Amino acid sequence: MSQTLALASSNQGKLAEFLAMSDSIGSSSPSLQPVLLPNFNFLPTFEENAPTLAENAAGKALHYSQFAAGRILADDSGLVVPALGGAPGVRSARYAGPNASSAERSAKLLNEMQHLTGEERRAYFVCVLAVAEKGRVLAVISARADGEILPAARGTGGFGYDPVFYVLERGKTFAELSAAEKNALSHRGKAFRRLLSAQIL
């Protein structure tokens, strides 16, 4: 029997990644079908103002589980630059203001890092996934991906900070990797595989 996992988001880029990850896992989880939560933009909004990614992800999953049957998947992800005191961190999506574009957020980050060199440019992505059903949290799982921030954007794939996040082991930014390559290395890909291995879906 197929099982729908509703993603609490209207972000088509995130959905595409989850679909690709589900397809790549294939034989081990053939019935899993991620979809965007129906009418997401018309549902009461969950304010992601908690101090941690885990609290935001769990709170979002719980919130939207009130409005739909089945299991709801929510994620909160952030880019951490230790040399900037952990920024953008939990505020990654709002780093340059609530309505800023991905390019504007990346531009602000590059501007604030323009005097940093070497190890100071190290960074990592963190993804926290939470699954809830009928007002109960079933799982909260996290993972990270390490890299560094380039002085300028490279590549046209991905979304968010992907064009400035450089993966040393591949010699490319997330935006230059194929979808399959990125999913194998990314924080979201690692967290999703951990979620599936937990066997709660």
Convert the pLDDT of each residue in 118-139 to its tens digit.
Answer: 999 999 999 999 999 999 999 9
Question: Picking from 13-27, 60-74, 109-123, 128-142, which range would have the lowest pLDDT averaged per residue?
Answer: 13-27
Average pLDDT for residues 181-196, to the nearest whole number?
A: 91
**What are 63-98's pLDDT values in tens digits?**
999 998 889 999 999 999 999 999 999 999 999 998
Active site residues: 76
Residue 29 or 18, more confident: 18
Match domain 3-197 to its CATH number in 3.40.220.10, 3.90.950.10, 3.40.50.1000, 3.50.50.60. Answer: 3.90.950.10
Q: Are the CB atoms for 129 and 191 separated by under 8 Å?
A: yes
Q: Is residue 39 predicted with pLDDT exceeding 60?
A: yes
Judging by beta carbons within 10 Å of its beta carbon (0-12, 13-18, 19+), is residue 94 exposed, middle or buried?
Answer: middle
Q: 111: part of which helix (H) or strand (E)?
A: helix 102-112
User: In terms of pTM, does the model score above 0.85?
Assistant: yes
Q: Could you tell me whether strands 165-167 and 71-80 are parallel, antiparallel, or unpaired per DSSP bridges?
A: unpaired
Instruction: Note every long-range contact of 16-20, with CB atoms under 8 Å and residues 24 or more positions apart, other chains counting.
Output: 16/179, 17/179, 17/182, 17/183, 17/186, 17/188, 17/189, 18/73, 18/188, 18/192, 20/179, 20/180, 20/183
User: So where are the chain's domains?
Assistant: 3-197
Q: Which two tokens stand for residue 196?
A: 């599936």
What is the distance between the terminal CA atoms of the chain, rounded to a whole angstrom?
A: 12
